[in-house]
Chain A
């Protein structure tokens, strides 16, 4: 499953001054997991995913997000790992933050900023608080996040 904007560094890559290979920023990105039934079939799941995909460019570069559909066993495994209780839910850095409630833009920014790994990242997120959703790249961002691509039992 492809993750939007993320390329994991090799485990062997030497870590110097918080750089791991070329992927210093990627390593600091906020990880968001969206637990769904199926973002195509279920409108609520779809708009949970869109709440991430419609984040403005400034925020897209600071986050990675992924759909986990419980229609397949990998998704069920993630649901169990994150101790999900309801669908859909958004987890930020492993915390279920929005269980069965589609968040407001500012709520999402604030909850991600709270969990930022560095003060610099938190500041960048807070700086985007007044930007609002951006819809011109939603389709592209959803595709990059694998939305609707891994929602089959055998996927």
Chain B
């Protein structure tokens, strides 16, 4: 386990071997025989699960929390909880009004579930440090947060009502900035903006509606001299150049992209990159050998800015 190895890879540097990050999320709850909703609501269980998982998987880094509803629930979105999954956002306060009209304010560390996250970090951080494992803070990205706030209409509004979309996204960017500050305060070593729905739009839309609203959070991370990344899911081929131009130290993608393509993009822009293990086809369904999949990923990723991780 090596925190520095991971930070070097995330920053696009050469490493002796590829570091490894399990994006364990509520799998941590499974490993400690707890229900996902109980795990996410208890700082003690959160910390216990994360530390246990880091030890079991000999991780070089691990997310403190992988739950993209924290920011949304801290500003008024209601959640549906699941025993074996992350909560889903069930109401959208900006479905018919702007954030200002809805009376939304920027969350503080006392808002919503943030006190639970702070407390979990306080318990987990020293134990992860002892393991030489990086603690990672994951922020819900601006477009995903805007979707939580306004619902699916945001994907129409970016074309039909761009002023409304910009208002929602500007607010979302400010919430991301606040979340970045929280994770800095908690002592995270790496902070990533996680914007899975940003793969579902055109590159020009990404440039206009995602790129600017990531900048406040990226500035917070870099001003604290921490390492930044941008996680995106799905087939993000059409927006990859925009992802590379965001200004983060690196990015991570999922199993749907070709690792050789991603490696070459990362090298072209001098960035760290990771992900791509076949979470569904291999680890979940067993349609592909996990061992062979891992070997293919390691061979393609190499040891120049690459982090071995699920997609």
Contacts and interface: CB of A to CB of B under 8 A. Distances in A.
B234 A88 contact: yes
A129 to B, nearest CB: 12
A152 interface: yes
A1 interface: no
A43 B284 contact: no
B85 A41 contact: yes
A153 B30 CA distance: 15
B285 A102 contact: no
Residue of A43, A47, A85 contacting most chain B CB atoms (<10 Å): A43
Interface residues of B, number: 36
Contact of B82 (A40, A44, A70): A40
Secondary structure class of chain A's binding surface, majority of residues: loop
Interface in A139-155: 139, 148, 151-153
Contacts of B199: 44, 100
A139 B280 CA distance: 26
B197 A104 contact: no
B79 to A, nearest CB: 11
B155 interface: yes
A71 interface: yes
Interface string B66-77: 001000000000
B235 interface: yes
A66 B153 CA distance: 20
Contact of A54 (B80, B90, B144, B152): B152
A102 B86 contact: no
A125 interface: no
B181 interface: no
A100 B95 CA distance: 23
Given A43-B147, A70-B285, A104 B156 contact: yes
A110 to B, nearest CB: 13
Contact of B200 (A38, A85, A101, A133): A101
Given A39-B88, A44-B234, A47-B147, 16 more contacts: A40-B88, A43-B68, A47-B200, A48-B200, A85-B235, A86-B256, A87-B256, A99-B235, A100-B199, A100-B235, A101-B201, A102-B152, A102-B201, A132-B156, A139-B90, A148-B88
Interface of B: 68, 80, 82, 84-86, 88-90, 92, 95-96, 144, 147-148, 151-153, 155-156, 159-160, 196-197, 199-202, 233-235, 256, 280, 284-285, 287
Interface of A: 37-44, 46-48, 50-51, 54, 70-71, 73, 76, 85-88, 99-106, 132-133, 135, 138-139, 148, 151-153
23 contacts: A37-B280, A39-B88, A40-B82, A43-B197, A46-B89, A47-B152, A47-B200, A48-B200, A73-B285, A86-B235, A87-B256, A100-B199, A100-B200, A102-B152, A105-B156, A133-B95, A133-B152, A133-B153, A133-B156, A135-B153, A139-B80, A148-B82, A151-B85
